[in-house]
A and B are shown apart, each in its own frame.
Chain A
């Protein structure tokens, strides 16, 4: 199945605002991140496991174990710094 992945802040600067990704049904957010890491050296650098990142599925913060539903809007971004 295909999902749309959005990036914000430093990830957006490195990878662009969004891209499509293909993943098996039932895949988790963590599995999606792993798949994206393998796309390019730049992906590996900014999405790599040494980076603290947060993720959201359909605009709700989720942890890596969350299953990505069909057609979901997924986002990865750095820790938030508003206020």
Chain B
């Protein structure tokens, strides 16, 4: 099955997980994560969010991080779906699902993929608030999260390109 989808449409986690583990009786654990549009950000009410990506590069970056995850963890199958375009508060933004033999590897691989995606996949969020629209700032804490896995990044910090 296709491992990475960038789409405007919503997704169904249950259907995705069913497809992910279909036909593999060796799967004993599936860990999933869903990101959703929070209704508030830095004290402002968020009514809507717009997500932009770099067609081609985004898919490739996620494929690369899945390959990196496969080298570290015993992954039987993995899936990433990320939406783009305009999303209302409360909407699902993205999901990661990882199927493994045991839960430890599934939890870790899911978190690794999220930490990687947050700092290495070219997506940008713009929030609509009563004060106007604003681009979301990258967080240094996301760089730190990836560093825990021994991967250095300067997404939020540093002056180098």
Is this pair of chains taken from one and the same complex?
Answer: yes
A residues engaging B (CB < 8 A)?
6, 8-10, 12, 29-30, 33, 49, 52-56, 59-64, 75-83
- Asked whether, in the complex, the Cβ of B120 is within 8 Å of the Cβ of A61, the reply is yes
- Asked whether, in the complex, the Cβ of A33 is within 8 Å of the Cβ of B161, the reply is yes
- Asked whether, in the complex, the Cβ of B56 is within 8 Å of the Cβ of A64, the reply is no
- Asked whether, in the complex, the Cβ of A81 is within 8 Å of the Cβ of B123, the reply is yes
Inter-chain contacts of A63 with B (CB < 8 A): 160-161
B residues engaging A (CB < 8 A)?
35, 51-54, 56-57, 60-61, 82, 93-94, 114, 117-126, 135-138, 154-161
- Asked whether, in the complex, the Cβ of B161 is within 8 Å of the Cβ of A54, the reply is yes
- Asked whether, in the complex, the Cβ of B161 is within 8 Å of the Cβ of A82, the reply is no
- Asked whether, in the complex, the Cβ of B56 is within 8 Å of the Cβ of A59, the reply is yes
Interface of B is mostly: mixed
Task: State how many angstroms separate the Cβ of B152 from the closest Cβ of chain A.
Answer: 11
Count: A-B pairs, CB below 8 Å: 91
Q: Taking A59-B60, A82-B53 as contacts, is the C-beta distance between A77 and B122 under 8 angstroms?
A: yes
CA distance A31 to B138 in the complex (A): 25
- Asked whether, in the complex, the Cβ of B122 is within 8 Å of the Cβ of A64, the reply is no
CA distance A79 to B118 in the complex (A): 10
Return 23 A-B CB contacts under 8 Å, by A number. Answer: A8-B54, A33-B161, A52-B159, A54-B155, A54-B161, A56-B57, A56-B122, A59-B57, A77-B122, A77-B124, A78-B124, A79-B137, A79-B155, A80-B120, A80-B121, A81-B125, A81-B136, A81-B138, A82-B51, A82-B118, A82-B121, A82-B123, A83-B94
Centre residue among B54, B60, B122, B156 by max chain A CB count within 10 A:
B122
Inter-chain contacts of B61 with A (CB < 8 A): 61
CA distance A63 to B94 in the complex (A): 28
